[in-house]
Amino acid sequence: MRVLEPSTMLDLWEAGRAQMPFARADLLLHALYPDADADALLAIPIGRRDGVLLRLRAGLFGPTIHGVVGCPHCSAPLEMDLETDTLLGLETAPALDLPRRLTVGDYTLELRLLTTRDLIATMNLAPAERAAALFTRCIVTASYGSEIVQATTLPQPVVSAVANEMATLDTLADVQFALTCPECGNQWRAAFDIVDLLWRELEHWAKRILHEVHVLASAYSWHEAEILALSPWRRAHYLGLIVEQVQS
């Protein structure tokens, strides 16, 4: 995996500010694998993509993820720490024999993993319609005995079996945590979205680093590229000298 330089990270943040989450994820993947085919990156299963982004996040901001989740019942904040290695431990090995055959009673289905291309194709649908569309897109074929059937006609037990199988095939595609509010006792499940988390952290970093560039450029008349080329330790030291000078 390519190491992202500070200037590259700023370019990514600027390019992705007005983009949708899937486009931001695609930007990050292109930066990490600049020689990869664009269509191939769009075809990476969502869970595999998120595993790459988890490793990127650990390299940029450390292995521990500190999060705060608001209780949907009383809005009380719940703090939680996650270790990247723990999340990556959920990752399944690449399923090389896809499409995967699944048999549920008299139903036989062939399944494939969802990709960024599927997210793009359904992005303009309402939430309920989008969920239904994504479900049908993961089903290559479906049959009842010898009769071909539509994915939209599958009974609920089959739908549940498909969802469970997809979760097994691509575990990082839909990571959720069972949480209990310490204030009101409410229990719920919260989804973990590495794309949203990583982008918020990248935005926080970008605003901080631009402020540092502004301060150092004002004090020393350095160019942005010169400041970004400094190590974080050197930038912090120069900023400390500026503060000392102002306070003296």
Q: Where are the domains of the chain?
A: 1-44+193-248, 100-169
| 3-class SS of residue 124 | coil
86 vs 40: CA distance, rounded Å: 28
Over residues 14-20, mean pLDDT: 95
* CB-based burial, 151-174: b 16+ in 10 Å, e otherwise: beebeeebeebbeebbbebbbbbb
From the list 66, 33, 28, the residue with the least C-alpha distance to 50 is 28
163 vs 183: CA distance, rounded Å: 33
The tokens for 105 are: 């009673």
What pLDDT is stored for residue 198 in this prediction?
96
From the list 86, 89, 101, the residue with the least C-alpha distance to 165 is 101
Q: Is the pLDDT of residue 248 over 90?
A: no
Tell me the pLDDT band of 63, cut-offs 50, 70 and 90.
very high
| 3-class SS of residue 221 | coil
CB 125 within 8 A of CB 133: yes
Q: Is the pLDDT of residue 96 over 60?
A: no
Four-residue CA torsion sign, 214, 194, 27, 1: positive
Q: Which of 92-106, 113-127, 149-163 has the lowest mean pLDDT?
A: 92-106
Task: Sort residue 145 into left (φ over 0), alpha (ψ -120 to 50) or beta.
Answer: left
- pTM: predicted TM-score of the whole model, two decimal places: 0.90
Over residues 234-240, mean pLDDT: 96
Q: Is the pLDDT of residue 51 over 60?
A: yes
Q: What is the pLDDT of residues 190-226, one digit of tens each?
A: 999 999 999 999 999 999 999 999 999 999 999 999 9
